[in-house]
Structure formats: structure tokens, C-alpha cells
Structure 1
Amino acid sequence: MMLLQALALAISLMESWVLDDSDPVYQPGSCPFLDDAFNCFNNGRPDLDYLRYRWKPHGCHIPRFDGRQMLRMLRGKRMVFVGDSLNRNMWQSLVCALRESVENKSRIFQIEGRREFRTRGFYSFNFVDYNCSIDFVKSPFLVQEWRSSDRRGNRRERLRLDMIQTPSFNYHDADIIIFNTGHWWTHQKTYKGKNYFQEGRRVYNRLEVNEAYQKALRTWAKWVDSNINRSHTRVFFGGYSASHFRRGKWDSGGHCHEERQPITNDTQLKPYPLMMKILESVISEMKTPVFYLNITRMTGYRKDGHPSVYRKPDVHQRTPGIIQDCSHWCLPGVPDSWNELFYAAYLLSHHDLSS
């Protein structure tokens, strides 16, 4: 575990994006597995400057992503991403990067159809020649969303802070699991009137979002410690990915479409999120080793990497009032660097297991 801890420290000290004209791990517009919302090149974004940067650590070398080596390490294994759409960003980035390294791309199969995925929250790709699957399970809060109707037929929504979300497809015995949650824990998305958060039989009249987040993470941590076989499964947690809305929020005119370069002045970075301090505290108390991919600071610089108006096939016909996406990331793009960090961490974990 010492090597993993050392890498975690190195990641936390990374402070700069540097210009790098190397080819991306997959070419813009080349991967058919991307959601339209992330495919900025196909959606008409005219510049590719956001692909010319690489995250560089101080005093540490991060190896370049090697898709064939990654697939060899994943041979016979199941890898599962569990979380929100930012984790889906990372999952699709990895699938596309691995696809690029496969000579016979017809040997990659979608286990579930796209419509099935959207209705049941599960999606999977199988790399036949390596007998491995890369899955995504939608769980934006990690804990259970609860919907019911009263006698009058009025719909009620609650978030059960004491119950892990029950997936349609089991994943607790996967070889690698990458969790995340964060972007849905905002007052706009969790405050839906009184009595939204529930714990046991107690329904909270009012509860601060950060306190609810901490309760949910403790429920997740307890579930992991009770259900994950630590000798078989490697657990990762992806940190909070920064947003860059200017002059408004996502639903009030916030925008980022004019951004073409990363932030270079540290004073312009947003404060480190309290939610990540809560997450770090919870992880430190767990019995299960969890490798924390702390991407918060590195994404804080990248105001240039979001889909903005290039989020749907017809967004080049921009109309007044269009909602911009300054939370997710263009693919290829910034999430490819997250997978480079994961690749380095997984290389070290293999070294730990063999030493």
C-alpha cells in the first residue's frame, strides 16, 4: 500500500497543465461509443486547443496511457464505474481509449442496448479477445432515491441516506470498482421542499446538504466494508470535478463557450470543496483500502474543456437562452487524464500485489 499512498500524495501536489502536441489516445470524432453530449468535435466545436495539454506532476512521472497494457492487466476481469454522469464521462473515455488499441474493433460488444441502459441505469462493453467487461451503473447519490405517491396521487420523492442504492445488476464482486458522487449534492437538486432526506423512520424537515452528504457517504462506506472482498476487489473513488459557469449557474444563463485556455493563475481557482474534505475524512476511517483519485485541483484549471454550447448535434445553430454545459467534459479531453492517473495507480497496485 505504500506505493499507492505515495502516488496519492503525488497526485495531490500536481499543479500544472503543460502544452503537449502528442496525439490524443483516440482521435476526435473517431469513437462511436460517445454520448452526443460529450462529442464536442462532432457537435461543431471549431478548435482543438483543449487537446494540447497534459497534466504534469512536480517530482513525479505519470506514464502515458498504454491501452494494450491496460487490457492485458484487465484480462478476465470486470471493471465497474458506479456514480453520476461525471463518472460516465470517465467510463466512456476509458472505453474509447481501450477501443483505439484493439486491432479488430468488431470484437467489442455492447452487452446492453442504449435504450436499455437509459431505462435501467446499466451499460456494458465486452472486449472479447481479453474476456473483460467495462460497465457503468448509474447511481448519482450512491444512496437510494425513493419515489412514492400518497393517497391523492401526489408524487413524493425522498433520498434514503441510510440505504445504498440497490442496483439492477450486482457489482460488489467486480475486480475493480470506481465510485463517485458529488454534482447532484447541491441545494438546487436536493432541496425539493420539506421532508426530502430520510434516515430510518426519521424524515428530516430541514437538513443541510453537506450533512446529508456525509451521512450518505458513511452509508456507502459501511456497505463497502461489509460487502467488498478486499483480497479480490480494488476500490477507487473519483473526486469532485470542477465546473466553470460564468455569470450565472447552469439554469440561469451561466456560460463557458468563450474559454480557450486553462487557468494559469492559482488565485482564480475556486476554494477546495468542503464535500471533498468530508469524503477524505470518511475514507480515512474505512477498513477497505480505497484509492482516492483526487482530480479536483487539476480540473479546476480547465475552464476550456467543457462542451459549453457544443453539447448536441444541432448546437452550432445557437439560439438565445440555450443551456450550456460547463460541468461535463469534451471527449477526447480532460477525462482522458483521469484515466491516465487510474492507469498509473493500477500499474502500482499490480506491483504491490507481486512484491
Structure 2
Amino acid sequence: MGMLLNSYIVVSIIVGVHVFEQVHADGGCNIYRGRWVYNPLYRPAYNATSDCPFIEAEFNCLNNGRPDQQYLHYKWQPYSCILPRFNGRNLLRRLRGKKMMFVGDSLSLNQWQSLTCMLYKAIPGAKYSLTRQGPLSTFTFPAYNVSLMYNRNAFLVDIVFEKKARVLKLNSMNGGVSWKGVDVLIFNSWHWRLHTGRKQPWDFIQDTNKTYKDMNRMVAYEKALKTWARWVNSNLDLTKTMVFFQGVSPDHMNSNEWGDPSQKTCKQETRPVNGFKYPGGAHPVGVWL
């Protein structure tokens, strides 16, 4: 559900739609302050089984045997305004002739996949193309000349093979060449930086001209984000390209953080956390965002 909420919020901001039907007299509406409301009559923006023929198998919860269906009937309700239903046709008209790219890890993949399904549901049977080349996936609606892309790049900075070793270069952004010429860029990065052992996709970390076997992951994250920010400011025309960096989602590995000590992780949870603040507190890397 958070995936759908984030996709909706990002897209609403991007296209400049006035998404608020009611706003308090004090002006403005913080769409992040609200709660999940259950309504059995509410339907999701698409049914993964019947409305999205190209959805990746791991994202089709019902086909994969999820027994409960209550999660399909929750709606995010801000405290000070009402969000209208997602309008896919309107978004496609506003994006006509443009390119949008999600760059990052599985969070970006989830949102890219969700958005493509939401738009296809809005124009069922429309012609589309889906191509994959290396880390880049491109979904296109030819009738609107709209391209929605996902670039798998969990670290944003480069990982380079040198002397039979994989080196994470905190000051190198050669992979950013594929981001040029895109109208809307949406970035995220963090969780892969925690991996160790066999799941760690690098052998060494290089910072300027020094190479380390490992280093404080928070420090490495800060250095990489500064490299990314410098690249954005130096290589993109921000009057033509809209750039967003998404926040970091909680790790969901300690059930005490959301007040359910009976569970070890979020694996068996079926309902969203109440309130707009995560009970476990803000993620520590938020200081750099």
C-alpha cells in the first residue's frame, strides 16, 4: 500500500495537478499527515491478475496465494484534505511526449511497476511496448509517446570491476549517462548498502584515491549522496528536468517498532500501522535527505 501511495504522491506533484478537493482555511495540505482508512467498497487502482498482463510474478500477491484481501480496500486519507482517485488518462495527456525514469533499488522497481499497471488500467487494451536492456527497463505508450523507465542502480554511484574485484566508487557517476535527456527523474537508495557477506555486491570501497575493505555505511552513504547531488547540479538543466529523491522506508525487521511483539518481522502482518508517524521513529539516514 505504501508503494501505491508514494507513486500517487510523486506523480501528483510532477504533473502539477491540484489534487485537493477540500483544504483547511489555514491554507495548504500536508498529504503525508493522515491515516489508512478501511472501506470494503473501495477498490484498488488495478487488479494485478486481470488488469496488468505484464506485471512481474512476484508482485501478484493474489496469484501467489495471499489468503487475505483486506489490504485491497485501504485508502490513504490526509487529515486536512481529500485526495481524489488517480486519473490515468489525465496523467498520460500531461506526460505526452515525455520520459519519466525511476532510478534505484526495489522501491523504485515497485513504484515503476505499479505506475505502469495503473496507467494501463486507465486505457485497457492500449498498445504498449516493454523492453529490457541490462539494468534499464522501458515501458512505452506509443499513442502518447510516453516512456516510463526503471534503471536498476541501487547505489547511484558506480561499481567497477578492477583486478578481479568489484569496487564501489563513492566519487564516480559514469552510470548517470542514461539519466540525461529524461524529463522526470525519481531516485532512491539505501537498503542495499546494509548487505554483507554473499549479498554484498562489492569487494572494496574507494573514496577519492583511497581504497578500503569496508567503512561505516552511513559515512559511505553520505559521500555517495554528495557525489550524486554534485552530478545532478552539474549535468542536468533543472529548468527542464524535474528531480526527486525519495525518503527511506523503515526496515521492518523488528516488530517491537510497530507495537506487535508477537511477530519477529512484518511477514505475517496484514494491516497498516495506525497514524502518520512510524512508531519506531525516523530512519537514521534521514539526516542526509
Q: Distance in 1 between matches of 2:186 and 2:201?
A: 32
| Cα offset, 1:189, TM superposition | 6.9
- Structure 2 residue 145 is the aligned partner of structure 1 residue 139: no
State the AA in 2 paired with 1:79.
M
1:94 maps to: 115
After TM superposition, the structure 1 = structure 2 runs for residues 1-355 of structure 1, keeping only pairs within 5 Å, are: 10-12=30-32, 14-20=33-39, 21-30=41-50, 31-105=52-126, 107-110=127-130, 112-113=131-132, 116=133, 120-149=134-163, 155-166=164-175, 170-186=178-194, 188=196, 196-204=204-212, 206-246=214-254, 255-264=265-274, 269-279=279-289
| Cα offset, 1:146, TM superposition | 2.0
| Cα offset, 1:41, TM superposition | 1.2
Residue pair 2:138, 2:148 contacting (<8 A) in 1 also: yes
State the AA in 1 paired with 2:30.
A
Distance verdict in 2 for CA 1:243–1:49, change over 3 Å: farther
Cα deviations across residues 2-57 of structure 1 (Å, max 9, x unaligned)?
x99xx997144x13111133211111312122222221111111211111111111
Distance verdict in 2 for CA 1:237–1:56, change over 3 Å: same
- Which stretches in structure 1 are left out of the alignment for 5+ residues? 150-154, 248-252, 280-355
Residue pair 2:34, 2:275 contacting (<8 A) in 1 also: no
1:297 maps to: none
User: How many residues of Structure 1 are paired with residues of Structure 2 in the alignment?
Assistant: 258
Give identity over the alignment, percent: 35
Cα deviations across residues 254-281 of structure 1 (Å, max 9, x unaligned)?
64342121223789722201212211xx
State the AA in 1 paired with 2:206.
Q
Cα deviations across residues 234-292 of structure 1 (Å, max 9, x unaligned)?
11122112332357xxxxx964342121223789722201212211xxxxxxxxxxxxx
Secondary structure of the residue aligned to 1:224 is helix
Q: Distance in 2 between matches of 1:174 and 1:19?
A: 37
State the AA in 1 paired with 2:34.
E
Residue pair 2:159, 2:202 contacting (<8 A) in 1 also: no
Q: Distance in 1 between matches of 2:285 and 2:55?
A: 29
Residue pair 2:104, 2:189 contacting (<8 A) in 1 also: yes
Q: Distance in 2 between matches of 1:186 and 1:272?
A: 17
| Cα offset, 1:64, TM superposition | 2.1
Cα deviations across residues 74-107 of structure 1 (Å, max 9, x unaligned)?
10111111111110000000000000111432x1
Greater Cα shift, 270-279 or 69-78: 270-279
Q: Distance in 2 between matches of 1:191 and 1:38?
A: 22
Residue pair 1:10, 1:57 contacting (<8 A) in 2 also: yes
Residue pair 1:109, 1:127 contacting (<8 A) in 2 also: yes
CA RMSD in angstroms comes to 3.1
Residue pair 1:145, 1:165 contacting (<8 A) in 2 also: no
Q: Distance in 2 between matches of 1:86 and 1:276?
A: 16
- TM-score, normalised relative to structure 2: 0.79
State the AA in 2 paired with 1:122.
L
State the AA in 2 paired with 1:124.
T
State the AA in 1 paired with 2:99.
R
